[in-house]
Every structure is written in C-alpha cells, then in structure tokens.
Amino acid sequence: MSLSLLLPEDGVTELLTEWPDEPRVFERGKTALDETVTAAYLNDYVDTGCVPVSEIAIVKAPGPSLNQNAYLTNGRTDPAKLRKLYEKGFTLRLGNLQRVIPFMARVSRTIQQETGYSNYIHAFLTPPGSQGLRHHWDQQMAVIVQTAGVKRWHLWRPTVAAPMRDYNESWRVWRDNYIPDWEAAGPDLEVDLHAGQSLLLPRGWVHNPHVAEADEHSVHLTFAIRERTPVWLAEKLVEGIIADPRFRRIILPGDIHGPMLIERVQEARQELVRYLEGLDPDDLTPSLRQAALKELEYTT
C-alpha cells in the first residue's frame, strides 16, 4: 500500500474512511520512501541537470517565481545556476516526480488504485532561514512528507469554500487585505514539521511554510491528491451526450443573436433531462469506477 509510505496505519485509515477537513500531523517514521528518495538523491537530481526545465520553479518570498532564463544555458537546465540560486536563499521546487522517477510513478499509481484519485508529487528544497511560496491555499488534499530538516507551517482556516480546479483558486480570488489580516490575527495552527513526520493539509487551508532555523536545510515532498467530486460525476454522466443526434443539431446564428435563444436553451434543458433520466446507474457504475482508477487530471 503506497499510502503507508506516507502515513502510519492510523493515518491511512483516517484518510480513507474520513477524509479529514482539519490538518493533522502523524509520526510516519522511516519508510521505503525515505530510504529511496533521500535529500542526497534529490540533490543529485538537481546537480546532474536531469530535472526537466518545465518541472522547475525557483521562488523566494515575497517575490514571484523566477523566469526560466535564470537557470538555463543554451535552453537546458543548468545545475550550477540552480545551485547558486539555492545558495542565495531560493527554494527549488522540482515538479511532477511521478513523471520522471520510476519509483515515484509506482507510488503515485498505487495511491490512485487505493483512493480512486489521481495525484502528483512535488519536491521542495528550501535553504536555511528561507521561504519559497508565501500564503496561499491549494485545490486538493496534500500530504506533506518531511524527509529532511524542519519546516514551520503557519495555517489558517479556509477563506473560500471547497476550491476545485480553477474555481476559487488563490490567485484568481486574491484580495490585498488577506495577508495583513491573517498576520494580524495570527495563525489558527502552527506546526513545526520534522523529518519522519507527515502533515495532512486539506484543500482550502491557507498555509505559509518557511524554514525558521538559520542552519537548517529542509526537504519535503508534497503528494497532492485530487478528490473526485459530484462535478466529476456530472461530467461523466453527460460525457456520451455527443452520440445523441439531438445534441448535434445546429443552433443558427440568428437564434444566438435573436429572441429565439431562450427557446433553444429551454429545449436543450428538456432534452438533457430526458437524456439523464434514460441512463441506468447500474450500467454506468463499472465504467465510472474504472475511470476513477485510471484517469489523470489535466495537470497530472
């Protein structure tokens, strides 16, 4: 079971049976994940120049991510430039390890078999006394696996309800007063996450992670697990609608620009209701289950 690489037995049980909506810290101990994807392994991944350009983000709060030109030479990843940026206090985010590291690909696929949720895995290497990303929230449950050092997490309760995909995404609904208000109130939770611990971070929870110690290097893996929702079911229910000729009829330009559009909308709604009423849930369930186990989200 891949989830058992990230969480102890009680954490796996809680995740699968309850899907917590409050952050939780678990003592993971040392698993095959810690033994395989070590800090030395990830540093070697950086220093050999093997990290795909498209999977690198370099950030130091409060600034945005650097342009790719900051770490490229002749269009390729330049490990010497990455190392110099790290030494200047920039966090290296190595994205989508499940695409490039066979061990992580197997872990990711097994997590999807266990949950029915697709997922992706990022690594964050943060130098001493530094911070990469500032306050933000994510669109899915994250399991934060600390593998080296200590990272401090300031956490606030969700500002928006159930963000998903690009809906209620941090930067899309951001307000200038957010950070001053959060800082003035202080965090709802503060967690010092040590190597051997894992943090369950539900979607929507605002987080502001940083390395507090001036001599502490931090490495953590973020397993972002994309929950299936009724939106996904609704999309699946209408997925085959194109096979029905009623929904392939032309809507004339004159109808779009004229008073007939409301009638076209009413007709389409009525036909959609009839279409949905004609579907047999028993027939659909097996294909839905298979889709959950195999389909990747657009970012994975």
Could you tell me which of 172, 164, 171 has the C-alpha nearest to residue 234? Answer: 164
In three-state form (DSSP H/G/I as H, E/B as E, the rest C), the secondary structure along 113-151 is HHHCCCEEEEEEEECCCCCCCCCECCCCEEEEEEEECEE
Judged on CB neighbours under 10 Å (0-12, 13-18, 19+), 243 is exposed
What is the rounded distance in angstroms from the CA atom of residue 71 to the CA atom of residue 68? 6
207 forms bridges with which residues in the sheet?
136, 155
Is the sign of the CA dihedral 17, 189, 209, 175 positive or negative?
Answer: positive
Neighbours of 257 (CB within 10 A): 9
Rounded-to-integer distance, Cα 66 and Cα 71, Å: 9
End-to-end C-alpha distance for the chain, whole angstroms: 21
Q: What domains can be seen in the chain, in order of their start residue?
A: 3-227 (2.60.120.650), 231-294 (no CATH)
If the chain, 300 residues long, is cut into consecutive pieces of 10 residues, what is the mean pLDDT of each piece? 93 95 95 96 96 96 94 95 97 97 97 97 97 95 97 97 93 94 97 97 98 94 96 94 94 93 96 96 95 83
Q: Do the bridges between strand 150-156 and strand 91-94 make them parallel or antiparallel, or are there none, so unpaired?
A: unpaired
What DSSP element (H or E) covers 83?
helix 79-87
Angle between the N-to-C axes of helices 39-47 and 79-87, in degrees from 0 to 180, rounded to the nearest 10:
130
2 three-class SS: coil
Query: Helix (H, G, I), strand (E, B), or coil: what is residue 201?
Result: strand
Q: Are 191 and 150 in contact (CB under 8 A)?
A: no
Predicted local confidence at residue 300, as pLDDT:
61
Contact at 8 Å (CB) between 45 and 79? no
Per-residue CA distances from 101 to 42, 46, 249, 297 (Å): 11, 13, 47, 19
Tokens 């307000």, located at residue: 175
The reply to whether omega before 62 is within 30° of 0 (cis) is yes
> How far is residue 186's CA from residue 159's CA, in Å, rounded to a whole number?
14
Would you state the pLDDT for residue 297?
79
Q: What is the DSSP string of 35-59?
A: HHS-HHHHHHHHHTT-S-GGGEEEE
The three-class DSSP label of residue 205 is coil
In this predicted model, what pLDDT tens digit does every residue of 150-178 receive, in sequence order? 999 999 999 999 999 999 999 999 999 99
